[in-house]
Amino acid sequence: MYVAVKGGEKAIDNAHALMREQRRGDTAIAELSVEQIKQQLPLAVDRVMNEGSVYDPELAALALKQASGDSVEAIFLLRAYRTTLPRFGYSEPVDTEQMQIERRISGTFKDLPGGQVLGSTYDYTHRLLDFALLAEGDSALSEPEQASNNMGVLQSDLSANNVGVPQFPSEARTETKTSDKLEACPRVLELLNQEGLIEQSRADGEEDITPRDLTRQPVNYPAERAVRLQNLIRGDEGFLLSLSYASMRGYGDSHPFAGEMRSGLVSVELVPEELGFPIEIGEVMLTECEMVNQFHGSKDQPPQFTRGYGIAMGRAERKAMSVALVERALRAEELGEAVNYPTQDQEFVLSHTDCVSANGFVSHLKLPHYVDFQSELEMIRRLRKAASEASAQPSEDKADTAGEKI
Amino acid sequence: MSSQLSSQLNKPATQTAGAEGYNFAYLDEQSKRMLRRAMLKAVAIPGYQVPFGGREMPLPHGWGTGGMQLTATVIGEADTLKVIDQGADDTTNAVSIRRFFAKTAGVETTEHTADASLIQTRHRIPERQLRNDQILIYQVPIPEPLRFIEPRETETRKMHALREYGAMQVKLYEDVARFGHIATSYDYPVMVNDRYMMDPSPIPKFDNPKMNQMPALQLFGAGFEKRIYAVPPYTKVMSLDFDDYPFEVQSWEESCSICGSDHSFLDEVIMDDAGNKMFVCSDTDYCRERVEQGFTAENPEGQQGLTPEPNQSQQERKTQDDTKAEEMAP
Amino acid sequence: MSVQVNSMNRGAVRSDLLMAGFDDAVQDAQKVFRKVLKAMSEPGTILTADLTDKTPGALNKSSWEIALTLFDADTKIWLSPTLAGDDVVVSNLRFHCQCPMVSEPAEADFALALADELPELKTLNWGNSEYPDQSTTLIVQVEAITNQVQDSDEGWCLTGPGIETERGLSAKGLPYSFRLDLVNSRKRFPLGVDCVFCADDQLVALPRSTEIKPSDNEDGIRNTTQQEAN
């Protein structure tokens, strides 16, 4: 006699044991420490922090280790942990203008107050595999590359604690400042603002409102800008990158200039109820991007550039730029542009940015669907039977008489 | 200040039963309050989808996080929990979720429908008639019945607001025109209390009639879509249909190869390369119960006489104006 | 957090007025929630919430326990004048629930009122047609609640979701105009206000989905509603 399949519990236990074994790999090789991941895979850690919505490099590194390096799985681990954390309070808005600049570039002005600071970047590296890294040790890092061959590559002397000493040809000025003594570094877009060439970041008389927290409250459409930005910042980097790519290729009417990209440490302040004034509770590394976009004007208003804004935790330029581009595309409706493409469609974009949701829903197809499939089997057999009977004995189309009723 | 005073005035919360480092039933109290408030609104407006600030759960979205959030919010130490997936207690996802609550809430679990106070389900309603002291919690992937007709939430919100459901009628009608039948076999839309169109979650339409006038409270949770909806006990739930194409449920020529049941939802099992197949009850607890009562494939009438048909009492409860109920009877 | 705290209520919590909340914040809140859930899903069913020894000021046991269970920093609360004017009530609600207080009933997620201080029903938030859930839940402290309506001149006969056939309910002390407004509010479903009536340690709910017919004794409302229907 047939006996229903049993053994779910044991199968799960075994699957987990196998997974742990696979994650550890060959035990003859030293185990990777969380600290090593944090120190040596910092960009992976930053991505997990961003989409995991928790600023904690150590936990992000732990999640990466536990997830065998799968960033989506690691993001999920961090999110699930985050959701259980109590809220102690809400910080004051961070002031990125006061950022301790580690890197700052503008695509719109050759030189500007505060200067161009190239900092650390892969941008101008030649993508040649460095086989010296195969051997253990620091290899190429210790050898400064020749500026003549490698235009603009950072000559990094970390031992001297200089943050970014670029040897950048003519168009960029050399910055030699250390992080503790920087000249004022106003935002590029605010410089444009002095001439009224770009839209204000807030309208005259507009007050900041406390943004809705999308992790505590549901998103309703149309969503306000603060909610859209939160959503994008938590969004999947690959999805946003591709959307911004599409928006620049004509599916979104986007013609941006990178007004400014800056990264560095920003202090975080909190006002404790009992004190009534802000105190600094720490610093976070942030990357901020402001895009200058095509201008707008109307009968009442002279033409102005518009803005697209992106910010991300850690060193995450690709993310910050993608956010800024998609964010701008999503402003189409409020700026009176035609909404023709998915990149401009709030509901389409915001509903599908989240890698945890996307991954969950796609992978849920692996779950049993015996019952639904059985229902479909029964239905299709019935329809086929009816069809074969009908073709054997043609009759009137009964459908014509179907009446409506709820 | 608050936290100091708080610890003086409030005794510490129960931590004994839960997993170390986590609150009872995993979710923090603030999240539970938010969910509880949303749940009360869902109950007050039967069939209407209440948006809520969905929390991340430690299981993937689409794997029951909505149902789990509801269970975590409702469950208490006195509860006995049953979890089923495809009608069975022993499928991997059901096992995983049951273990989660055994671990984080320390509650009793059971595979017996009759012994459970809370039942979390994916894709089935148990065959056994549920009672008024039980709560049925559905895992819902897509809560919007109109979603595949209109993908925009802004539009479907309006359709619900105006009770404008013609698009669904058109869709079902197109089925009739093309196939001669309404071709929806699961996830079959219903009207709740004559007001809101509701997605019953991907249960087979076989289970739809069980929702009507069910004595148990039915709660629906969609995790990543962040929606809660509910059907209070004893509420009218009617499957959509047409006068001349009435709603009908699946039926099988076969009966269960284990307990001989000819009235339960059957799973098809492929036996060999030649495609030979057999049919067994999808509700494993119902099947077990029948076998214990002496029903077998060889003796489908049982040794101790028949137990009541699972939905018999439900049919009796229909109100006089519920003429549909008669048409719906299999 | 998007809640704007009303400045008028931003005074200090008076710690000398504080009293204990639940013995076990997690388990007790769960127990009370299940009562409220049952009450809301089976309108007219009277349940008991009796987990606290003392209550602040004029709050009765069931309304105090509902507050401890459902109010927090994300819910805006409107209190009827006597409650709003009582430091004991306000301090304890703010301490235990961290809930912001609002001065307009329309802004409130929850309105907590004594029966003789009820705001007009129309001044509460009824939600909107796309989001009817964004409405006020009204908690009213009444003298007594009972399912025995035969001898009552304030009785209702309830039908609708959650009620197998019909159920009698009488909540004593509600003003006539409020009862009238509540009956009439059903015409606007799914908009509406969900009510919980609290008497000592008892509670009963009347969500907007419940049809209310005055029981035979309540001529006033019956006549009036009939007139309106005509």
The DSSP line for A273-311 is TTT-S-EEEEEEEEEEEEEEEEEE--SSS--EEEEEEEE
Largest CA distance in chain A: 91
Domain assignment of residue A329, given as a range: 96-122+147-353
pLDDT in tens, B291-310: 999 999 888 887 654 454 55
Contact C2 A220 (CB under 8 A): no
Any domain includes B311: yes
Any domain includes A240: yes
Q: What is the pLDDT of residue C11?
A: 57
Please tell me the distance from the alpha carbon of residue A382 to that of residue C228, in angstroms, as a whole number.
53
pLDDT in tens, C94-153: 999 999 999 999 999 999 999 999 999 999 999 999 999 999 999 999 999 999 987 667
Decide if B237 touches C, using CB distance below 8 A: no
* B54 among known catalytic residues: no
ipTM value for the complex? 0.91
Decide if C131 touches A, using CB distance below 8 A: yes
Whether pLDDT at B155 is above 50: yes
Co-location of A205 and A344 in the same domain = yes
**Domain boundary, last residue among A353, A375, A401:** A353
Q: A214 vs chain C: nearest CA distance in angstroms?
A: 10
Q: What is the pLDDT of residue B19?
A: 67
| DSSP-assigned letter for residue B88 | B
Any domain includes A368: no
- Per DSSP, the three-state class of B122 is strand
Co-location of B77 and B206 in the same domain = yes
Q: Which CATH architecture has domain C22-144+171-212?
A: 3-Layer(aba) Sandwich (3.40)
- Per DSSP, the three-state class of B326 is helix
Chain centroid to CA B152: how far? 25
Contact B38 C24 (CB under 8 A): no
Whether pLDDT at C4 is above 50: no
A401 φ, ψ to 5°?
Answer: -95, 0
Contact C37 B13 (CB under 8 A): no
Beta strands in chain C (DSSP E): 47-48, 77-79, 110-114, 137-141, 144-146, 155-159, 167-172, 194-199, 202-206, 211-214
Q: Which residues of B touch A4 (CB under 8 A)?
A: 88, 90, 258, 280, 284, 287
Q: What is the pLDDT of residue B55?
A: 82
- The enclosing domain of B139 has a CATH number of 3.40.50.11310
Co-location of A109 and A61 in the same domain = no
Q: How many domains does chain B have?
A: 2
Co-location of A78 and A176 in the same domain = no
Decide if B320 touches C, using CB distance below 8 A: no
Any bridge partners for residue A283, and if so which?
A267
- C-beta separation of A307 from A293 below 8 A: yes
Among B37, B193, B213, the residue with its CB nearest the CB of C209 is: B193
Contact A402 B92 (CB under 8 A): no
Among B30, B45, B234, the residue with its CB nearest the CB of C208 is: B45
Q: What is the pLDDT of residue A84?
A: 81
Contact C74 A216 (CB under 8 A): yes
**DSSP run (H or E) holding B159:** helix B153-161
| Higher-scoring residue by pLDDT: C184, B311 | C184
Decide if A35 touches B, using CB distance below 8 A: no
pLDDT in tens, C137-153: 999 999 999 999 876 67
Residue B2's pLDDT band, with cuts at 50, 70 and 90, is very low
- Per DSSP, the three-state class of B204 is strand
Any domain includes B330: no
Decide if A84 touches C, using CB distance below 8 A: no
Return the residue of B nearest to A214 by Cα.
B53
Co-location of A42 and A75 in the same domain = yes
Return the residue of A nearest to B191 by Cα.
A406
Q: Which residues of B touch C129 (CB under 8 A)?
A: 161-162
Q: Which residues of B touch A376 (CB under 8 A)?
A: 185-186
- Per DSSP, the three-state class of B30 is helix
Contact B24 C208 (CB under 8 A): no
pLDDT in tens, B73-98: 999 999 999 999 999 998 888 999 99
Domain assignment of residue B206, given as a range: 2-147+184-239
Any domain includes B169: no
Decide if C148 touches A, using CB distance below 8 A: no
**Domain boundary, last residue among A331, A353, A375:** A353
CA angle B192, B194, B200 (to 5 degrees): 20
Q: What is the pLDDT of residue B141?
A: 92
Q: A273 vs chain B: nearest CA distance in angstroms?
A: 9
Co-location of A113 and A42 in the same domain = no
pLDDT in tens, chain A (406 residues): 444 455 677 888 899 999 999 999 999 999 999 999 999 999 999 999 999 999 999 999 999 999 999 999 999 999 999 988 877 788 999 999 999 999 999 988 888 888 888 888 888 888 888 888 888 665 555 455 444 433 333 333 333 333 333 333 334 434 444 444 556 788 888 888 888 888 887 777 777 777 888 888 888 888 999 999 999 999 999 999 999 999 988 888 777 899 999 999 999 999 887 788 999 999 999 999 999 987 776 777 788 888 999 999 999 999 999 999 999 999 998 888 889 999 999 999 999 999 999 999 999 998 888 888 988 988 888 888 888 888 887 555 444 444 444 4
Q: How many domains does chain A have?
A: 2
Any domain includes A128: no
Residue C72's pLDDT band, with cuts at 50, 70 and 90, is very high
Any domain includes B155: no
Any domain includes B175: no
Distances (CA, A) of B319 to B323, C43, C157: 8, 19, 18
**Domain boundary, last residue among A319, A335, A353:** A353
Q: C163 vs chain B: nearest CA distance in angstroms?
A: 6
Co-location of A48 and A110 in the same domain = no
Decide if A196 touches C, using CB distance below 8 A: no
Any domain includes B310: yes
Q: Which residues of A touch C3 (CB under 8 A)?
A: 210
Residue C26's pLDDT band, with cuts at 50, 70 and 90, is very high
Catalytic residue among B256, B260, B294, B305: B256
| Higher-scoring residue by pLDDT: A296, B192 | B192
Co-location of B142 and B279 in the same domain = no
* B305 among known catalytic residues: no
How many other C-beta atoms can be found within 10 angstroms of the C-beta atom of residue A202? Answer: 9
Co-location of B18 and B77 in the same domain = yes
Give the 3-state secondary structure percentages of chain B, helix then strand then coil, rounded to 5. 30, 15, 55
Contact B95 A217 (CB under 8 A): no
Co-location of A32 and A117 in the same domain = no
Please tell me the distance from the alpha carbon of residue B88 to that of residue A361, in angstroms, as a whole number.
22
Contact B186 A371 (CB under 8 A): yes
pLDDT in tens, B23-64: 999 999 999 999 999 999 999 999 999 999 888 888 888 889
Any domain includes A21: yes
Q: What is the pLDDT of residue B1?
A: 38
pLDDT in tens, C183-227: 999 999 999 999 999 999 999 999 999 999 987 655 445 444 444
Q: Residue ranges per domain, chain C?
A: 22-144+171-212
Catalytic residue among B166, B259, B260, B305: B259
- Interface probe, candidates B50, B56, B207, chain A, greatest A C-beta count within 10 A: B56
Q: Note the residue count of chain B.
A: 330
* B281 among known catalytic residues: yes
pLDDT in tens, B210-256: 999 999 999 999 998 999 999 999 999 999 999 888 999 988 889 99
Any domain includes A136: no
Q: Which residues of C touch B46 (CB under 8 A)?
A: 161, 209
Q: What is the pLDDT of residue C27?
A: 97
- Interface probe, candidates A88, A215, A216, A221, chain C, greatest C C-beta count within 10 A: A216
Q: Residues A128, A130, A134, A139: what is their CA dihedral angle, to the nearest 10 degrees?
A: -170
Catalytic residue among B47, B64, B87, B221: B47
Q: What is the pLDDT of residue A10?
A: 82
